[in-house]
Amino acid sequence: MLPIERRATIRRLLFERKTLKISELSALFGVSEMTIHRDVRALVDEGIAVKTYGGIALLEPHRKEAPPPSSPDDGPSRCVVCGKPVNPTLAYRLLLPDGRVDVACCAHCGLIHHRRLRSPGHAGAYALVRDVLTHTTVPAEEATYVLGGEAPAACCRPPVYAFSASGDAERFVRGFGGVALRWSEAADRLKAEMADGGEASAKDLSCFPGTQSLK
């Protein structure tokens, strides 16, 4: 993610959440706290935010405004779903309403955890995922996902690959197989495949211990 894209995302999050912590943003984007300090300084200079202890807050005159439109290598070191070490180039990061940052090792585990957080009784999350080709960071719910196929799995099985452009996903499918889906379709299909074994054998469901709940 380019600095200008990261700052636009921080601005959007600030309008949505009203307060943000430097440490949380550092973990979410996978950059140093010093980098985040430079990012938020621009918002303070614009008169949009004010510095608080360990973070920033949206200034009162802006609190009723609509959020701006949409335009990561530190943080937790193990996947929130399967416990594998997190590879920053594959990570799926989720910022929770209470400020915690959950990190999944790949789009496979990220979709499963994110879907769970979107279910009734949960408060949801804002998530970012890496494009498997360009390695840029994009909002997870705006990405296109390829499930399955013959490309070597970079992490968990069945493999899931994230793309910022649907055209790239379709070309990947033509070359390696699988199916290209939007976020909600991909999350639902992955849950179904993991629940009944789908196209993978038990040994291929390498993400999950047998007792892990999919709900």
The per-residue pLDDT for 202 is: 34
The per-residue pLDDT for 73 is: 40
Low-confidence ranges of the chain (pLDDT < 50): 66-74, 198-205, 208-215
What CATH architecture applies to the domain 3-62?
Orthogonal Bundle (1.10)
The per-residue pLDDT for 205 is: 47
> Measured between alpha carbons, how far is 93 from 72 in angstroms, rounded to an integer?
8
In terms of Cβ atoms closer than 10 Å to its own Cβ (0-12, 13-18, 19+), residue 114 is buried
Q: Are 57 and 9 in contact (CB under 8 A)?
A: no
Residue-wise pLDDT for 75-132, tens only, equals 567 899 988 888 888 889 988 877 778 899 999 999 999 998 887 666 668 898 989 8
Check residue 111 and report its DSSP letter.
Answer: H
In terms of Cβ atoms closer than 10 Å to its own Cβ (0-12, 13-18, 19+), residue 105 is buried
Q: Where are the domains of the chain?
A: 3-62, 92-204
* Residue (of 93, 171, 81) closest to 138 by Cα position: 93
The reported pTM is 0.63
> Measured between alpha carbons, how far is 65 from 54 in angstroms, rounded to an integer?
24
- CATH 2.60.120 is the classification of domain 92-204: no
CA dihedral sign, ordered 198, 84, 147, 176: negative
Task: Provide the total of helices (H) and of strands (E) in the chain, helices listed first.
Answer: 6, 10
Letter for the amino acid at 129? V
